[in-house]
């Protein structure tokens, strides 16, 4: 039997998944004891069931702890398999030891999820693909282009160019080229020791063209703003930005002040719901289809835009 439960990171998203699957959300208590410790009770029989726990791992740390404790509860209740469904995989940005005395946080999170007892992980648009290799269990990484590309096709104007905001996002941006039939430009930059960035050069032609910037996330928006300023200085006109995960730690004003006409994101991160000026695309249908395929033993890769 298929069962879907959720923690408190993004219950709206979990309800969307269940709505597409046409099943009720699993009954569970995910609360706190008086001293703040997390309390979890799964109030349904899940013996020999396939249990999917929908919970992102973004801060606060309780989100990660809820996921780990819910996995443990499901394993101890004799679930047949437990799948961690993580719409937004938090703690992904420290994915390598690039300086002295820094952690590899993404590897630590992977180890914790495995140790808790997850049999499989389902995510969308990891910050870097190498994170999949940190797990010894299967990881299915979904791509938001299934949800974002149709919306972009609706609003794109002629004479538009895809712009990657930095060199590390070129590969992510480039995979949208054939779906949108656009040429590609990118920003070459370097970061200093404090994590600040300096734009060095724009590669490609954006003069008198509209630009679309697509990335896996918008956090503060600083990287995108610097790319937009550089593109505008080189003659770019209308600006659209799109991202899988809309975090918006500094809100959207910085992007609007830089001349962005349209902001598009999915609803994988709960912060996206807080901004009325952001066009939110529901990605729960992608997860629901993937969950159905995993449960039925079918290929998940058929969901990808090839």
Residues 275 and 168 in one domain: yes
Q: Is the peptide bond before 60 cis (omega within 30 degrees of 0)?
A: yes
Domain span at residue 162?
Answer: 145-281
248: CATH: 3.40.50.2020
Query: Across the chain, what does the average pLDDT equal?
Result: 93
Q: Confirm if 166 and 223 have CB atoms less than 8 A apart.
A: yes
Over 70: is that where the pLDDT of 285 sits?
yes
Q: For the residues 43-71, what does the mean pLDDT come to?
A: 97
Q: Are residues 64 and 186 in the same domain?
A: no
Helix (H) or strand (E) holding 19: helix 11-21
Residues 218 and 288 in one domain: no
Rounded Cα distance between 158 and 92, Å, is: 36
Q: Quick one: pLDDT at residue 62?
A: 97
How many domains does the chain fold into?
Answer: 2
pLDDT at 99: 84
Mean pLDDT score, 93-97: 89
User: pTM of the predicted model, to two decimals?
Assistant: 0.93
11 with 87, same domain: the answer is yes
- Between 100 and 61, the higher pLDDT residue: 61
pLDDT of 226 higher than 80: yes
Those residues with Cβ within 8 angstroms of residue 6's Cβ, 6 or more apart along the chain or in another chain: 13, 14, 15, 25, 26, 28, 30, 53, 54, 55
- Distance in angstroms (rounded) separating the CA atoms of residues 231 and 45: 56
Query: Is the pLDDT score of 306 beyond 60?
Result: no
Q: Which of 39, 97, 175, 189 is catalytic?
A: 189
In this structure, are 192 and 262 located in the same domain? yes
Give the mean pLDDT of 157-182: 89
The set of residues, in sequence order, having a beta carbon less than 8 Å from that of 194 and lying 6+ positions away, is none
User: According to the model, what pLDDT value does residue 172 have?
Assistant: 87
The per-residue pLDDT for range 125-160, each reduced to its tens digit, is: 999 889 999 999 999 999 999 999 999 999 999 999
pLDDT value at residue 89? 97
Specify whether the CB–CB gap between 264 and 279 falls below 8 A: yes
- Domain shared by 29 and 136, yes or no: yes
Residue 294 in contact with residue 23, Cβ under 8 Å? no
- Say whether 226 is catalytic: no
- Helices and strands (H and E) in the chain: how many: 9, 14
The answer, yes or no, to whether residue 164 has pLDDT greater than 60, is yes
Q: What tokens appear for 175 in the block?
A: 């995979």
The answer to whether residues 297 and 199 belong to one domain is: no
Same domain, 81 and 53: yes
Distance CA(204)–CA(192), nearest Å, equals 24
Given a cut of 80, is residue 115 above it in pLDDT?
A: yes
pLDDT for res 182:
93
Question: Are 36 and 95 contained in the same domain?
Answer: yes
Q: Does residue 101 sit in the same domain as residue 139?
A: yes
Instruction: Give the integer Cα–Cα distance in Å for 9 and 269.
Output: 8
Phi/psi for 65 (5° steps) reads -65, -40
pLDDT surpasses 80 at 35: yes
For residue 192, the model assigns a pLDDT of 59
Rg (alpha carbons) of the chain, rounded to whole number:
20
Say if residue 222 is in the same domain as residue 130. Answer: no
Task: Give the model's pLDDT for residue 161.
Answer: 96
Question: Is pLDDT of 174 > 90?
Answer: no
Query: For residue 69, what pLDDT is reported?
Result: 98
- Which residues are CB-contacts of 204 (< 8 A; sequence separation ≥ 6)? 161, 163, 183, 184, 185, 186
DSSP 8-state assignment for residue 27: P
Residue 254 pLDDT: 94
Confidence of residue 194 (pLDDT cuts 50, 70, 90): low
Question: Does residue 243 share a domain with residue 153?
Answer: yes
């Amino acid at each position: 039997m298929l069962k879907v439960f959720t923690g408190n990171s993004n219950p709206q998203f979990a309800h969307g998944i269940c709505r597409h699957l046409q099943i009720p959300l699993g009954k569970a208590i995910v609360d706190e004891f008086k001293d703040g410790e997390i309390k979890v009770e799964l109030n349904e029989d899940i013996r020999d069931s396939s249990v999917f726990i929908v919970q992102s791992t973004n801060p606060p740390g309780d989100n990660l702890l809820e996921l780990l404790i819910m996995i443990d509860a499901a394993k101890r209740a004799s679930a047949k398999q437990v799948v961690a469904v993580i719409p937004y995989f938090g703690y992904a940005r420290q994915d390598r030891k690039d300086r002295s005395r820094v952690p590899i946080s993404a590897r630590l999170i992977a180890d914790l999820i495995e140790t808790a007892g997850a049999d499989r992980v389902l995510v969308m648009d990891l910050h870097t693909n190498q994170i999949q290799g940190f797990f010894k269990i299967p990881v299915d990484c979904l791509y938001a282009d299934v949800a974002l590309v149709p919306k972009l096709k609706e609003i794109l104007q002629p004479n538009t160019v895809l712009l990657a905001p930095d060199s590390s996002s070129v590969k992510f941006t480039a995979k949208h080229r054939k779906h949108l039939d656009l040429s590609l430009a990118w920003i070459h930059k370097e970061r200093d020791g404090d994590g600040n960035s300096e734009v060095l050069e724009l590669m490609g032609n954006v003069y008198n063209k509209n630009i679309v910037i697509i990335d896996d996330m918008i956090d503060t928006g600083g990287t995108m703003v610097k790319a937009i300023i550089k593109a505008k200085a080189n003659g770019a006109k209308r600006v659209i930005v799109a991202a899988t995960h809309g975090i918006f730690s500094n809100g959207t004003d910085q992007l609007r002040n830089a001349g962005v006409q349209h902001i598009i994101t999915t609803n994988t991160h709960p912060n996206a719901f807080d901004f009325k000026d952001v066009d939110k695309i529901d990605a729960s249908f992608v997860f629901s289809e993937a969950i159905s395929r995993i449960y039925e033993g079918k290929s998940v890769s058929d969901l990808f835009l090839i």
